[in-house]
Amino acid sequence: MELSKSNLNSLSLLKKIPKSVHQELLSLIFGVLLQQADETEIEKSQSLKQIDSTLLKEVFSGLITIVIQAIKNNLNAKSLAQFLKDTNAPTEFVGLLSTAYGKTFQKIKEIHLETTGFYLKKLIDINWRMDYIIKSNKIEQIDKPVYFIDLNLQKKDGQIEKLKFSCDTNQLQDLVTTLKDAVLAKKTLK
């Protein structure tokens, strides 16, 4: 797990926040991540309101990144605690964070990370046709083939989109070679 300097710094900034507030802050953060709470609740609570707001904002963002990163790296509560012990975080806080993390991490994972992706369309089928053009209205002699290619693509919601295009031999060869290169590149990864 890698964290940027500013995020690591936010852990050491925790010392400036009184220990009595730690539990409240954590519950708020996990509430936000579980989509049960809102950051407006900070202003509602009496104890959190007294803390310097910039400090609180920095710590808030830092803790959220730590939790999200830990989930991204699929850490369990124990290994997260181990990781935090190596940083400047106060030990009591580490205990609190790791226990809360252990309880909620599966849910947060489901809400935020498991359901996000890049959603490139999936190629399902290809139809193709080759026409040989002898001449056109304006040109007397062409004598070249033209390829008509239909790609059937599946979107993330299961709908099928058709991508149609025509190309000449050179373009088709270019397409084929790039595809072959891609396949080769994937093979070299093995």
Partner 1 sequence: MESVDEIIIHSLNQLGLKIDEGSTISDLTDPDFVLQVTSICLKLIDPEIDIPKKMPSEISLKYRIGQNLSQTVKDLGYRNEIGYHFFLYPDASDLRKFFLWLVESLPKTEEVEYEEDIVGSARIYQNITFSLQEWSKKPISNLNDILDNKQKTKKPFKKFETSRLQVPTDHDMNKEIVKSYCEQYLDYVSGQTTHIAESVIEHNDEGVVQQQEESELASAALDAGEYQQDYLKKQQTENYQTLNNALQVGGTFFSRSSTNYTNFLSNFENSRIEFRAFNLERNQGSRFSNTSEFGQKKSNEEKTILLEFEREVLGKTKEEEERGKEKEKKKGKELLKEKIQEKMDPELAMENLKKTHEEKVNKIRMMISEMNETLDSVEIENKNYTDLIMQLKNQFTEEIETIRESEKEIEVKKKVINFLPKSEENISKLRQLNNQTCSTLVDLAGDWEKFRADLIKKIRELKQNVGGKKEMWKVKIEKIKVMRNEMKDLVYTIKEKEGVYKQLIKEFKKLPKNIHRANYTKRIIEIVKNVKKQKTGITKILSEIHDLQNKIHLTNGNISRSFGIADETLYKAAQNDLEKIGSKNAYLLVVEIHNIFSEIRTKLQNTGKMKNQISQLETEIELMKTRDTTLNMKKIQKDLEMVKKENKMIKKKFSKLKPNKKSSKKKKK
Binding site for partner 1 (CB under 8 A): 2-7, 9, 32-33, 38-40, 42, 53-54, 57-58, 60-62, 64-65, 68-69, 72, 110-119, 122, 156-158, 186, 189-190
Q: Are 122 and 163 in contact (CB under 8 A)?
A: no
DSSP state of 126: E
Nearer to partner 1, 17 or 33 (CB): 33
Report angle CA 183, 113, 4 to the nearest 5 degrees: 90
Nearer to partner 1, 29 or 94 (CB): 29
SS3 label, residue 154 = strand
Nearer to partner 1, 118 or 132 (CB): 118
Q: How far is the CB of 111 from partner 1 (least distance, A)?
A: 7
Q: How far is the CB of 183 from partner 1 (least distance, A)?
A: 11
Distance between first and last Cα of the chain: 25
Q: How far is the CB of 64 from partner 1 (least distance, A)?
A: 6
Nearest to 26 by CA among 40, 42, 12, 13: 42
